[in-house]
């Protein structure tokens, strides 16, 4: 089985008809065996349905999608799981676990704080963030990707607008490694300047030459931004079936009023209340990257 997810900066892109990039997952016996990022060649739902059919996709996970697109995908034999949000890998894992349901035809893709359930949770908060999952706009954006026009970078360079393949190693200031494409044996591919990477990484690659390796230090403003206090909220345990089993430090998935899942971390818990933090795990952190530009095409 092959699963396609609308993709932008590690998150589910929220307007199917304007999707430029998909993350594709090969699945065997309910387990992910491989994944890659592919760039769509057409625009509009008909062209995208044909593109996904050519990619042999069996399932599409996306955010907002209209009736016409649903029909085009149905004719192509592709099952649609709409109304999804958040990190792409988490959504695919939730789907494989039978915990992700389709919202049907929908056009609302503005994230609201209308948290309704806590049925999908992980018992650990130690998942490593990869550069492939980095938030576009360097953490300065909020909400979903929306339906606006193309991302316009605030920097220039010969690689802007081109597909770049980079190897990288990410570390904290104490030398601890949090991610490495070298360990996975596959370079990270993205379109430079398209908002698919955190700002500092994207800007650095814009002026690199193939074969060059550089080291950069990013302040939070150039990476995942500073934590937003508005993303920390407390709810009554009685209102969230399943939350009584969560412990402080656990990763969970709540759903907003549109049924879209989003990741949170449990930061505090009493007998009656539970507090969640929806900030990215890397928010507020200074990051170091060793970047090697492997290819530009």
Active site residues: 168, 178-179, 198, 224, 233
Task: Tell me the pairing of strands 273-277 and 261-269.
Answer: antiparallel
* Angle of CA points 188, 193, 194, to nearest 5°: 80
For residues 293 and 188, is the Cβ–Cβ distance under 8 A?
A: no
- Measured CA to CA, the distance from residue 73 to residue 128 in angstroms comes to 34
Question: In sequence order, what are the beta bridge partners of 27?
Answer: 32
State phi, psi for 82 to the nearest 5 degrees.
-100, 170
- Measured CA to CA, the distance from residue 141 to residue 111 in angstroms comes to 12
Query: What is residue 290's three-state secondary structure?
Result: strand
Sign of CA dihedral 34, 128, 168, 295: positive
For residues 191 and 204, is the Cβ–Cβ distance under 8 A?
A: no
State phi, psi for 261 to the nearest 5 degrees.
-80, 150
Question: In sequence order, what are the beta bridge partners of 268?
Answer: 275
Query: What is residue 10's three-state secondary structure?
Result: coil
Sign of CA dihedral 134, 138, 141, 147: negative
């Amino acid at each position: 089985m092959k699963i396609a997810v609308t993709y932008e900066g590690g998150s589910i892109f929220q307007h199917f008809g304007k999707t430029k990039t998909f993350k594709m997952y090969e699945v065997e016996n309910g387990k992910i065996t491989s994944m890659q990022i592919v760039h769509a060649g057409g625009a509009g739902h008909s062209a995208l349905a044909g593109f996904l059919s050519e990619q042999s996709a069996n399932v599409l996970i996306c955010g907002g999608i209209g009736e016409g697109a649903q029909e085009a995908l149905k004719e192509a034999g592709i099952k649609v799981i709409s109304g999804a949000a958040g990190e792409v890998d988490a959504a695919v894992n939730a789907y494989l676990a039978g915990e992700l349901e389709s919202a049907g035809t929908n056009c609302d893709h503005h994230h609201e704080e209308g948290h309704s359930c806590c049925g999908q949770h992980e018992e650990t908060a130690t998942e490593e963030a990869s550069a492939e999952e980095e938030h576009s706009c360097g953490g300065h954006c909020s909400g979903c990707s929306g339906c606006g026009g193309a991302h316009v970078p605030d920097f220039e360079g010969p690689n802007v607008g081109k597909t770049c393949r980079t190897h990288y190693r990410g570390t904290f200031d104490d030398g601890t490694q949090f991610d490495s494409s070298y360990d996975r044996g596959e370079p990270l591919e993205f379109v430079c300047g398209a908002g698919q990477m955190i700002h500092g990484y994207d800007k650095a690659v814009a002026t690199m030459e193939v074969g060059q390796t550089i080291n950069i230090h990013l302040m939070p403003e150039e990476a995942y931004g500073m934590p937003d206090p508005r993303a920390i909220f407390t709810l009554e345990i009685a209102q969230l079936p399943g939350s009584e089993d969560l412990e402080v430090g656990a990763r969970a998935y709540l759903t907003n009023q549109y049924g879209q899942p989003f990741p949170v971390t449990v930061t505090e818990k009493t007998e009656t209340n539970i507090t969640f933090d929806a900030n990215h795990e890397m928010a507020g952190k200074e990051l170091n990257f060793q970047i090697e530009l492997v290819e530009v095409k």
